[in-house]
Amino acid sequence: MSTDVLLPKIGFAMNEGVLTRWLVEDGAMVTAGQPLYEFESEKSVQEVEAPASGRLRIIVAASGETSPVGTVLGQILDANAAAPAGGAGA
């Protein structure tokens, strides 16, 4: 089982954001509530916490490109899942 890591909507008018950096490397084990990545919206830079515990699989690299709210940036895989082979990277 996996949990999607999404670009959140933090305000009523927010439609998009920019993933500025991952705080955890691809394939690393994370714990629910652990800071996972930072993104920038029109008004601020936000740190987002892991929604679950397990192994992080990064799908979208921190490239500075704008993404719509709800974009799947990564997944948190079951703790027993094998480490990803060459993901998007941090």
Q: Is 86 part of a structural domain of the chain?
A: no
Exposure of 22 by Cβ count < 10 A (0-12 exposed, 13-18 middle, 19+ buried)? Answer: buried
Q: Percent of the chain beyond pLDDT 70?
A: 89
Q: How many domains does the chain have?
A: 1
Please give the model's pTM, rounded to 2 decimal places: 0.83
Q: Is 82 part of a structural domain of the chain?
A: no
Whether pLDDT at 7 is above 60? yes
Q: Residue 33: give the domain boundaries.
A: 2-77
Whether pLDDT at 37 is above 60? yes
What is the CATH number for 11? 2.40.50.100
Q: Is 90 part of a structural domain of the chain?
A: no
Query: Helix (H, G, I), strand (E, B), or coil: what is residue 27?
Result: coil
Query: Helix (H, G, I), strand (E, B), or coil: what is residue 21?
Result: strand
Q: Is 87 part of a structural domain of the chain?
A: no
